Amino acid sequence: MLERRIIGFAVGILGAMLALSPHCFAAAKKPHVVGLGAVKKVAYSKAGDPSGALASEETLRIRPLIADGALKEWTTGEAHDVTDRSFVVRRAVRLNDELPGEKPAGGAPRGHWVWQRGPWLLIDRVTGHVAVLKLPDYDPGVSQVSWFRDFGAYCGLTSSGKSVYAIVAQLAARRPLLAKKLEAFAPDLKEQVDPVCAGTEWQREPLRVTFHPAGREPASFAVVPGSAMLVEDASDESEAAAPPAKANE
């Protein structure tokens, strides 16, 4: 009788442990697998693309962003590793260019699809989270971002469309670290040179950035990093870093 009571008591304890702590016996979560696939070329639509195209550019080189074996986005251009687990890359957008009432010829599928460049993305390899970056005064037809660490340097166009600014944005900062006026912007004038900025150069120590406005002398600026840090959450429910705010003209 005593042995039966002891056995019953042990079975009861084990049942309570299973009911109260199911997570102790759950299978471990599998790590996410995030990366870029092979490059392929697609027909590039120059017409209507705000990013513009080089004179000789007829195709766009795109790569799939794959997370856990599934296609998340299409990307284009070079990726930049921000940390050992997060990187930025530009999105490639497949856009429906079909006019209202336009009918496909010869039984072709609905929609006239074209490829164009899109916004910059921030991808976390651990969680698989993808966030669209809202860079201050970023204009796809003017801004060519040069990345260093978690800083992005580019020529920005103010909301009024009248001034070109030297912009340095830090991913986790709410405001740009640098916003200096370079020149007036007049896209309708014949003397307006394209591209607006020929390139941007970084210097590590001391931290400086040099802009090369077309037709003007280079402009160099010291960069003082802000106190904001790129926080990478270990959980699957991680929140995207706060996007930088727009710079005032």
Tell me if 165 sits within 8 A of 152, measured CB to CB: no
pLDDT of residue 190: 36
pLDDT of residue 161: 77
* 15 DSSP 8-state letter: H
Collapse the DSSP code of 94 into the 3-class scheme (helix H, G, I; strand E, B; otherwise coil) and give the result.
Answer: strand
> How do 130-132 and 197-203 pair as beta strands?
unpaired
pLDDT of residue 119: 92
pLDDT of residue 239: 40
- Identify the segments of the chain with pLDDT beneath 50: 25-26, 189-193, 236-249
Q: What is the pTM of this model?
A: 0.74
